[in-house]
Amino acid sequence: MKRIFVDIDDTILDFKKDSIEGLGKVYRHYNIPVTNETIDVFKKVNQELWKSYELGELTSEAIFNQRFGLIFNQLGFEIDDIRQVDNFYRQTHIDAYSILPGAESLLQSLFPTYKIYGVSNGKTGRRRLHQAQLSHYFDGIFLSEDMGYQKPQSQFFEYIGSKIPNYRKEQVIMIGDTLTSDILGGNQYGIPTIWYNPERLENKTEIVPTRETDQLAEIPVILTQLFS
């Protein structure tokens, strides 16, 4: 049976939208202006910390313990309990489940033909897919917090394979939006990869996906080609 590993955040669920809406609630609560500049500070700090997580340099708990300290410091604000701020931020979107346009149609089209497995470096993907009423499309959901490994580590993918009955690596393709975790991880594990790149970002890395698309609707055709 052909199988697909699908990244959850920003490939199926619109995590960027939900997280920025949650950030706005945090900023307003602490009387910080919600502007493109203050949002960009969050994006830059957050992205750098999660890249360190992908490299195994930080745990998720370490991120939560320092993230808003770094952000508030750059914004020139002081706060006593940084972890409380981070808890508040994560609570603002723990149940948020905005679905990317075309994502449910994609799952509907893939469901009859493929075994679909949701994969994520986050810890709320299972809950949010359930809230979005998309869980029934997935034959399994694998989160780094449950596994002790994270993308792009090969152990992340090996762990998943060990939990799937009648698993064959040559029957798997990885789909995701992030080069440094989804695509690099799939490449290192030795499976074909599809980079979902809706913003048509320039690839400034040495990470080469097997295929690239900016349209979720193109993925079924690409899968047919790769599996042929």
Q: Are 62 and 161 members of one domain?
A: no
Structure confidence at residue 123 (pLDDT): 82
Q: Are 67 and 120 members of one domain?
A: no
Cα(76)–Cα(97) distance, rounded to whole angstroms?
Answer: 32
pLDDT at 158 over 90: yes
- What is the domain count for the chain? 2
Q: Are 111 and 29 members of one domain?
A: no
Q: Are 7 and 30 members of one domain?
A: no
| CATH value at residue 55 | 1.10.150.240
Q: Are 73 and 24 members of one domain?
A: yes
pLDDT interval class at 201 (50, 70, 90) = very high
Structure confidence at residue 79 (pLDDT): 84
pLDDT at 220 over 90: yes
pLDDT digits (tens, 9 = 90+) for 167-188: 999 999 999 999 999 999 999 9
Structure confidence at residue 195 (pLDDT): 98
Q: Are 113 and 195 members of one domain?
A: yes
pLDDT digits (tens, 9 = 90+) for 89-119: 998 888 789 999 999 999 999 999 999 999 9
Neighbours of 201 (CB within 10 A): 11
3-class DSSP state for residue 18? helix
pLDDT at 78 over 90: no
Whole-structure pTM over 0.85, yes or no? yes
Q: Are 9 and 20 members of one domain?
A: no
| CATH value at residue 142 | 3.40.50.1000
Among the three residues 59, 74, 92, which one is the final residue of a domain in this structure? 92
Closest by alpha carbon to 56, among 132, 155, 129, 188?
Answer: 155
Q: Are 67 and 45 a contacting pair, CB within 8 Å?
A: yes
Q: Are 41 and 104 members of one domain?
A: no
Q: Residue 62 is part of which domain span?
A: 15-92
3-class DSSP state for residue 147? helix
Instruction: Tell me what the pLDDT averaged over the chain comes to.
Output: 95
pLDDT digits (tens, 9 = 90+) for 113-148: 999 999 999 888 999 999 999 999 999 999 998 998
Active site residues: 7
Determine the straight-line distance between the first and last CA of the chain, rounded to whole angstroms. Answer: 13
